Amino acid sequence: MAGMNRDARIYLAGHRGLVGGAILRRLQAEGYGNLVTRTSAELDLRDQAAVKAFFEQERPEYVFLAAAKVGGILANSTYPAQFLYDNLMIAANVIHASHKTGVRKLLNLGSSCIYPRLAPQPLREESLLTGPLEDTNRAYAVAKIAAIELCDHYRAQYGDDFISAMPTNLYGPGDNFDLQGSHVLPALMRKIVEAREANAPQVEVWGSGTPLREFLYVDDLADACLFLMQNVSESGPINVGTGKDLAIRELAELIAKEVGYTGQLAFDASKPDGTPRKLMDISHLGKLGWQAETSLQIGIQKTLDWYSSNVSPRIVE
């Protein structure tokens, strides 16, 4: 396959988010200079007419669809209508406009939550649509499944080169550390850092601590996205992860060690755990020629460095 030229016109949707920011850093580092971005204030991707006008004016050759409304268990449970509507509209508008304006290739970013709650572990791409979803993020998952279906059907009906990547739980520079809407790793990081700063005797951790989760450093995902855009053309979801998981309790203990917090971790089993386990089968992407490079310990250290510089400057290691 002929990869993207360095002067190719590339639209990166969601460049201010965790994933989009990492892809932007990677593209710039690789010398791609013809990048098109818009903030959500400049372009509301839920507005079909606005998206149509944007694509007709800018005419991107390649599209990274990393824009989404995202959040953890609390946010997904509290605002399911917004998670479903916003993500459906974003995907439908961007994918359809990409088709209508002749985009050469589109990479749609999804999530491991598309798979059934009790799908066999590790999660294989073939498990999609084989059972009920996890209730706490069903709205988001349905929207992301619809986006995969859109890409696949535009490929089948029109020959559009639209592909879909499904990353596992992500973390890294630019993450959301707001406790009302963040995912488990950044939420734990903030709680534990603030407990250390306050010399608090304990940190409350949601859930039992037993669920198993896999974590991928976001710059590794950006590397995978560039690899997929350059080398892969096929239908269906493509899992992106590390192939390794650990219990939430182990994650909290690892973060506490890296932060230097010596207080107690208090697990509140009355809070929801979510899916018991979410480990991705990454054998397909491995056979295609890609694997993650950043260990969880190194990734947490890098994320802590970013957090201390950008969110909590009081941290002094």
Q: Please give the positions annotated as active site.
A: 140
Q: Tell me: is residue 207 an annotated ligand-binding position.
A: no
Q: Tell me: is residue 168 an annotated ligand-binding position.
A: yes
Q: Tell me: is residue 94 an annotated ligand-binding position.
A: no
Give CA torsion, residues 162, 292, 76, 307, to 10 deg.
-120
Q: Tell me: is residue 273 an annotated ligand-binding position.
A: yes
* Assigned token pair, 146: 């619809």
d(CA 182, CA 199): 23
What number of other Cβ atoms are within 10 A of residue 36's Cβ? 17
Q: Tell me: is residue 279 an annotated ligand-binding position.
A: no
Within the chain, where are the H helices? Answer: 18-29, 48-58, 73-78, 80-100, 138-158, 184-198, 218-231, 248-259, 283-288, 296-310
Asked if residue 151 lies in contact with residue 96, where contact means CB atoms within 8 angstroms, the answer is: no
Amino acid identity, position 95: I
Element at 33 (helix H, strand E) = none
Element at 113 (helix H, strand E) = none
Q: Tell me: is residue 69 an annotated ligand-binding position.
A: no
Q: Tell me: is residue 21 an annotated ligand-binding position.
A: no
Amino acid identity, position 234: E
Phi, psi for residue 309 in degrees, rounded to 5: -85, -30
* Assigned token pair, 230: 């350059």
Q: Tell me: is residue 206 an annotated ligand-binding position.
A: yes
Q: Tell me: is residue 178 an annotated ligand-binding position.
A: no
Q: Tell me: is residue 303 an annotated ligand-binding position.
A: no
Q: Tell me: is residue 306 an annotated ligand-binding position.
A: no
* Assigned token pair, 133: 């979803």
Q: Tell me: is residue 276 an annotated ligand-binding position.
A: no
Q: Tell me: is residue 275 an annotated ligand-binding position.
A: no
- Binding residue numbers: 14-20, 109-112, 144, 167-170, 183, 191, 206, 213, 273
- Binding residue numbers for substrate: 191, 206, 213, 273
- Binding residue numbers for NADP(+): 14-20, 109-112, 144, 167-170, 183
